[in-house]
Amino acid sequence: MGKNTSRWLAGFVIHILMWTGYPAFGQERPPSPPSEVKIPKEPGWNSPAYRGWELLSIPGLIATYYDLDLDGKLDYQVIRKIIRKGTSDKTTIKQAIESARIDNLTVYVSKPIIYFTSKYPLFYCLGVDFRRNCRNIWIDVQEDGLNGNETLYTLSIPKHMVR
Ligand SMILES: [Ca+2]
Ligand SMILES: [Ca+2]
């Protein structure tokens, strides 16, 4: 096995560990946050806090990253489910945005692929470390935006993991 392959595997395993709830590399399980910890509103792509997005190694999910306090380190991410995909040779970006608006979806473009996701995130994750693990994760099963029905997501109960 080549060195690069090992490194890739290690990265992949860390991602899996993050999602299955085992502490990665001796990291302590995050303490339950006090109930007064509020979920920050997603700043959006026009905000100076926006730091990009990526497909997660768990298929069907897209993470959007933010640096809320603008200190150069990520501290917040939200994760949306991919509903469908298109390509930019068949659909212009403008058409994609219009189609997303009609279907109440959000658009992520990585030419030539256009991803249509749920309008609102499924996961909200506050306190992102350098491995992009989260300190506090909330799940919003209804995916209806921040309206109080979000629940703290316990990493030790993977059955809540939604595909
Ligand atoms: Ca920060
Ligand atoms: Ca909600």
User: 108 with 134, same domain?
Assistant: yes
Q: What is the pLDDT of residue 24?
A: 42
**CA atoms lying within 13 Å on the CB side of residue 132:** 19
Q: What is the pLDDT of residue 66?
A: 97
88 found inside a domain: yes
11 found inside a domain: yes
pTM for this model (two decimals)? 0.72
The chain-wide mean pLDDT, for the chain, equals 82
159 found inside a domain: no
157 found inside a domain: no
160 found inside a domain: no
68 found inside a domain: yes
User: 54 with 82, same domain?
Assistant: yes
Residues, Cβ < 5 Å to ion ligand 2 = 140, 144, 147, 149
User: 112 with 43, same domain?
Assistant: yes
Tokens encoding 142: 């209804």
User: How many angstroms separate the alpha carbon of residue 70 from the centre of ligand 1?
Assistant: 5
User: 54 with 3, same domain?
Assistant: no
User: How many angstroms separate the alpha carbon of residue 114 from the centre of ligand 2?
Assistant: 25
99 found inside a domain: yes
Give the domain extent around 10: 1-30
User: 106 with 129, same domain?
Assistant: yes
User: 5 with 63, same domain?
Assistant: no
Task: Note down pLDDT in tens along the chain; length 163 residues.
Answer: 455 655 655 555 444 444 444 434 444 555 555 556 789 999 999 999 999 999 998 899 999 999 999 999 999 999 999 999 999 888 899 999 999 999 999 999 999 999 999 999 999 999 988 788 888 999 999 999 999 999 998 765 444 454 5
The bound ligand whose nearest atom lies closest to the alpha carbon of 67 is 1
The bound ligand whose nearest atom lies closest to the alpha carbon of 118 is 2
User: 23 with 78, same domain?
Assistant: no
Neighbours of 117 (CB within 10 A): 24
User: How many angstroms separate the alpha carbon of residue 128 from the centre of ligand 2?
Assistant: 21
User: 81 with 8, same domain?
Assistant: no
The total domain count for the chain is: 2
Q: What percent of the chain has pLDDT over 90?
A: 61
User: 135 with 109, same domain?
Assistant: yes
User: 21 with 80, same domain?
Assistant: no
Burial group, residue 88, by CB count within 10 angstroms (0-12, 13-18, 19+): middle
User: 108 with 126, same domain?
Assistant: yes
Q: What is the pLDDT of residue 17?
A: 41
Q: What is the pLDDT of residue 129?
A: 83
Strand ranges inside the chain, DSSP E: 50-55, 61-66, 76-87, 105-110, 113-118, 123-128, 134-139, 151-152
Q: What is the pLDDT of residue 54?
A: 95
Residues, Cβ < 5 Å to ion ligand 1 = 67, 69, 71, 73, 75
Would you say 143 and 118 are in contact if contact means Cβ atoms under 8 Å apart? Answer: yes
User: 22 with 36, same domain?
Assistant: no
